[in-house]
Amino acid sequence: MTFPASQIALLVNGKVEGNPDASVNSFGKIEEAKEGQLTFFSNPKYEEYLYKTNASIILINEDFELKQPVAAILIRVPDAYTAFATLLTKYQEIVQQQLAGIQQPSYIAQTASYGDNVFVGAFAYIGENVKIGSNTKIFPNAFIGDNVIIGNNCTIDPGVKIYHDCKIGNHVNILAGTVIGSDGFGFAPQPDGTFIKIPQLGNVIIEDHVDIGANATIDRATVGSTIIKSGAKLDNLIQIAHNVEVGNYTVIAAQAGISGSTKIGKGVLIGGQAGIVGHIQLGDGAKVNAQSGVSKSIEPGKTVTGSPAYDYTAALRSQAIARNLPEMERRIKELEALVKQLMEEKVS
């Protein structure tokens, strides 16, 4: 597929500097792009490549001032990074629109129903009473359990498992290998040291415009629902336990783990490999730095770090003090020597 600069500019609300009929057919990184490819420039660290890239079209911030001529056609936009993301999304939509129909072999229960322009890849399993919205794409080897509801314009990648009774909203993307609705980790300890499994009878609800990375796991609730609210973005390799609630537009980075019944507010940022205990609350806008261990609730807007996690500003002060400890030790020894000298002079 080939796209002229004029059409690209319309999609991203940009202005063309140069030939509007110049066209591209693929994307490339600014340092590696070839003729016929589109790239973007937004990070000053890559400015040297702006002037020597072989890309045919470059998205660039409208307020950036060139220091030397650029061979490529420029499209000036308010934010080049956002514009590039928009184009990639449009391109993906065009590619996926070409996917439709039911590949064989696959299994779709007679009680299942689906909307227009749905794609089901080979070896997928669609259980009883499943409902799938229009323009949704389910790729090979996906498992969709009984009574699952999936909305419109969703993408369910290869190997995704969605267990029975779970509900997926509209415009949800779930990457390969992720498991939605497996049993939560619930066991009742017994006097003799053994454990009795607690049945997990709830489900998982994923609202609209949620993105979930590869090989993540979101456990079903013991009773009620584990909920991922609209706009949330979850990275690869994340564990979310039973009855957790993740708020709107919250972002969780890779390898983070959220224990059972924790409530995470709106717009929370959680760094990679963070661990959060169960039955606590993270207020709206809270921030958890990477590798932090959160053992108690966090107030709205507060940033924590470390393990156990505590106030970020206090942590920075502690780190500054720790770096100065050798100098402080030297000064203390000098003061001790001075005090000793003064005491000796006073005695004499």
Tens digits of per-residue pLDDT, 36-51?
999 999 999 999 999 9
**Contact call for residues 225 and 201 (beta carbons, < 8 A):** no
Residues of 28-45 as b/e, b for ≥16 C-beta within 10 angstroms?
bebeebeebbbbbbbeee
pLDDT band at 348 (very low <50, low <70, confident <90, very high): low
Q: What is the pLDDT of residue 321?
A: 81
Q: What are phi and psi of 116, to 5 degrees?
A: -80, 150
Tokens representing 314 are 């206090």
Kindly report the pTM of this predicted structure: 0.81
What one-character-per-residue DSSP string does 199-264 give? Answer: P---EEEE-TT-EE-TT-EEEPPSSSEEEE-TT-EE-SS-EE-TT-EE-TT-EE-TT-EE-TT-EE
Q: What is the largest CA-CA distance in the chain?
A: 105
**The CATH number, out of the four listed (2.102.10.10, 3.10.50.30, 2.60.40.10, 2.160.10.10), of the domain defined by the range 101-312:** 2.160.10.10
pLDDT band at 311 (very low <50, low <70, confident <90, very high): confident
Residue linked to tokens 């314009």: 153
More confident residue, 99 or 154: 154
More confident residue, 326 or 19: 19
Q: What is the pLDDT of residue 30?
A: 96
Give the C-alpha distances (Å, rounded to integers) separating 172 from 155, 157, 209: 6, 11, 5
pLDDT band at 92 (very low <50, low <70, confident <90, very high): confident
**The pLDDT of residue 98 is above 80:** no
Catalytic member of 164, 171, 209, 242: 242
**The pLDDT of residue 119 is above 90:** yes
Residue 341's identity, in one-letter code, is Q
Q: Respond yes or no: is residue 209 known to be catalytic.
A: no
Which class would CATH give 3-97? alpha beta
Q: What is the pLDDT of residue 70?
A: 95
SS3 175: coil
